[in-house]
A and B are shown apart, each in its own frame.
Chain A
Amino acid sequence: MKKSVFLGTLTVAGLAAGMAAAGTLEDVQERGTLNCGVSTGVNGFSAPDANGVWQGFDVAICRAVAAAVLDDPMAVNFVPTTGQTRFTALASGEIDMLARNTTWTLSRDVDLGFTFVGVNYYDGQGFITNRELGVSSATELDGATVCIQTGTTTELNLADFFRANNMTYEPVPIETNAEAQQQYLAGACDTYTTDASGLAATRASFSAPGDHVILPEIISKEPLGPLVRQGDDEWADIVRWTLNALVAAEELGITSTNLDQMTAGTDNPEINRMMGTEGSLGEMLGLEADWAVRAIAASGNYGEIFAANIGEQTPVGLARGLNAQWTQGGLMYAPPFR
């Protein structure tokens, strides 16, 4: 009996020790795949295509990180999360990073214990309504029934906006974008509100997009970006600088087509440092020297990713706007690679 108690205690101690968190980078490398949290399906941002392969603007960030860390952009296990489940999934370690149009706010960064590694899309909350209603401004929405995705910042912005404008509304809380779309199209709500990019993406999937109008008011700032758990700075740095590499690559003119040429060596020392032919930036991050090359090779630089998934040539049709490079009057600005 004594022996079994001893064994029992040992098992308990062993289990407890197993719970102590190891570095995320080691975990990912050992596992051989990156667990990346994405949405349950927003066209252009993250949605599986006809072959079941995840595609999109947020998906491309996951692929770039997987390429940088594991040298295989396809070694990503995409975990669809809702507005409600995403933070628990990240906090519990079910996913290594979250790229799910998530707004960077102080309380999420500080109180929820996450680290936002940057912004990959500067967005703002808007409204979509049916043209038939004849509404031309969000301030005419007094008394309207509004569909919202629950568990998001849009829920809070909406309450603030209507209170500030002294209007009433009837909130219809909904779990996922697809359900919201269905409710909105069925006319169960007069308007659907979410980030303007999400509205454009949603409208693109309607059978008659022209019947719906996105109202001009943008009622909030929504800097969307990937995030990781707080407390593993090494991992946060890797995700942060992978994103920065994509942005810097566009600024420096590195694209997926001229990547070989750039890797061969150029006159620009910053490009050389990024490509790993000069200096030891990769080593500092705990990665191989060509990490940035692999990240860019995955789906191109930031501009290419934008154009391929949500740009003006796609059904989503978003202009670069605030998301242009800082040299083009936008806000995309990567710190120096030095």
Chain B
Amino acid sequence: MAMDSGAPTGSFRLSMLLYDTRYRSYTIQIFALFLLMLGAAWLVDNTIRNLAALGKDFSFSFLWNVSGYDISQRPIEYSSTSTHARAAWVGLLNTLILAVMACVTATVLGVIAGVLRLSNNWIIGRLMTIYIETFRNIPALLWIVVFGAIMAESMPAPRDFRGDTPEATMQVFDSVAITNRGVYIPAPQFERSLGTLDLGFVAPSLDAIAFILVVVLSIWANKRLIAHATKVQNATGVRPKTWWKSILILFGPAIVLLVALGFYLDYPALAGFNFRGGIHMRSSLIAMWLGLSFYTGAFIAEVVRGGIMAISKGQSEAAAALGIQPGKTMRLVILPQAMRVIIPPMISQYLNITKNTSLGLAVGYMDLRSTLGGITINQTGRELEGMGLMMLIYLLLSLLISSAMNLYNNRVKLRER
């Protein structure tokens, strides 16, 4: 052999690759890697061959063609003369809107249900068990379809609101209309609007930005005020009264801004076939929102219950010994510690919600799957490109969410020094 160059470990023979434990694992790994690469190469080769056989090329240029179809829920400017790329973007925004809405409500529902399932009250505990077990054990799609059917079948049609003795009336001081096409709620409007900030791909309302900015600044100022009060208290032993200053700081600037912009509510009103004005939350959005929230909420409830049960009983007993009320014990002692256990599995629940938004087509919700992955693919015949792009987008979205949640997890997790 050529390897007998005086290596201190003795001569290397080819058979050692198989029989020497020092080398065998490398042999197996390299062989497995080789097989994997062969498999991948076969898939790629097969795809290229079949595309060639069908006379198709691989190109994303279809994204810049006119889409030709309309989308019901449009967070940004879009018409049937826009491009497929813009349709996909509208779909992605719809996906995000739904995902954020469902994540928030699922968390609220889940935390409440999870805490209440541990309640000492027998009825409340069992009720929560029933909720969790029914929603957790029936597929999400069925719940979405059930909520969709409830919206379509049992809510009144807009024409029922018509006439002198209408069959249906609007709710909450005549401001909310619940119809089988969705729920119409009053929309905040401004007489002296600042307009929108058109960035092309998103067009956020400047009014909303200004409002959020003012609220955030107010909260920050209020925090400073309380910090100052604590400082004075520490120095002098007397805490200055802050409640009226807090109210002034928290609400004053926001109200001044709203008055300056000429804030008013645009109420929905029946006009023609449908209600006009206000914000239209379509049946499809509501069905998806409720379906995903209740379904994932049940999972989150179990995660929360698990987190709470992971905290030793001694903690609540110690809190009780200090005279802390049960509600405060939960809020100040148990939950902050339980968070460390809860957050990691919560990340996957949020990812589940985001991915499950792709069930939207079942009730006609125009998310990314329905626009790019549905109509666009169907009208252009670009299955491979469309599906690939869609998978990439969902992958990026999921990675973004999990990295953001991981940042938060790092903040709350137990620091070991």
User: Which A residues are within 8 Å of any B CB, using their own CB?
Assistant: 1, 5, 8-9, 12, 15-16, 19-21, 83-84, 87-88, 91, 107-108, 111-113, 132-133, 141-145, 150-151, 155-156, 158-160, 162-163, 169-175, 182-183, 186-190, 229-231
Task: Give the distance in Å from the alpha carbon of A159 to the alpha carbon of B55 in the complex.
Answer: 30
Task: Give the distance in Å from the alpha carbon of A155 to the alpha carbon of B79 in the complex.
Answer: 13
Interface size on B, residues (CB 8 A): 50
* Contact status of A150 and B381, CB under 8 A, knowing A171-B72, A183-B152: no
> Which stretch (B119-127, B269-277, B297-305, B396-404) binds chain A?
B269-277
A87 to B, closest residue via Cβ: B381
Indicate which residue in B27, B53, B272 contacts A231 across the interface (CB closer than 8 Å): B53
Does A111 contact B381, Cβ atoms closer than 8 Å? yes
Most buried by B among A9, A15, A16, A111: A111
Q: Is B142 an interface residue (CB 8 A)?
A: no
Does A113 contact B181, Cβ atoms closer than 8 Å? no
Task: Give the distance in Å from the alpha carbon of A132 to the alpha carbon of B163 in the complex.
Answer: 14
**Binary CB contact string for chain B from 71 to 105 against chain A (1 if under 8 A, 0 otherwise):** 11000000111000000000000000000000000
Q: Is B366 an interface residue (CB 8 A)?
A: yes
Does A8 contact B35, Cβ atoms closer than 8 Å? yes
Does B274 contact A143, Cβ atoms closer than 8 Å? yes
Indicate which residue in A1, A108, A113 contacts B56 across the interface (CB closer than 8 Å): A113
Residues of B within 8 A of A189 (CB): 181
Does A156 contact B379, Cβ atoms closer than 8 Å? yes
Q: Is B68 an interface residue (CB 8 A)?
A: yes
Further contacts, 18 of them, CB under 8 A, given A19-B50, A112-B381, A182-B152: A1-B27, A87-B378, A111-B381, A132-B159, A143-B271, A143-B276, A150-B370, A150-B374, A158-B70, A170-B72, A170-B181, A173-B364, A173-B375, A175-B361, A187-B157, A187-B159, A188-B152, A231-B55
Task: Tell me the smallest distance from the CB of A127 to a CB of chain B, in Å.
Answer: 13
Does A159 contact B70, Cβ atoms closer than 8 Å? yes
Q: What are 28 pairs between A and B in contact, CB < 8 Å? A: A1-B27, A8-B38, A12-B42, A16-B46, A19-B46, A20-B49, A84-B378, A88-B383, A108-B381, A113-B54, A144-B272, A150-B361, A150-B364, A150-B370, A150-B374, A151-B375, A156-B379, A169-B70, A170-B181, A171-B71, A172-B284, A173-B370, A174-B364, A183-B152, A186-B152, A188-B180, A230-B54, A231-B53
Indicate which residue in A12, A21, A83, A169 contacts B378 across the interface (CB closer than 8 Å): A83
Task: Give the distance in Å from the alpha carbon of A91 to the alpha carbon of B274 in the complex.
Answer: 41
* Contact status of A186 and B153, CB under 8 A, knowing A19-B49, A231-B54: yes
Does A172 contact B69, Cβ atoms closer than 8 Å? no
Does A159 contact B56, Cβ atoms closer than 8 Å? no
Indicate which residue in A9, A19, A21, A188 contacts B181 across the interface (CB closer than 8 Å): A188
Residues of B within 8 A of A143 (CB): 271-274, 276
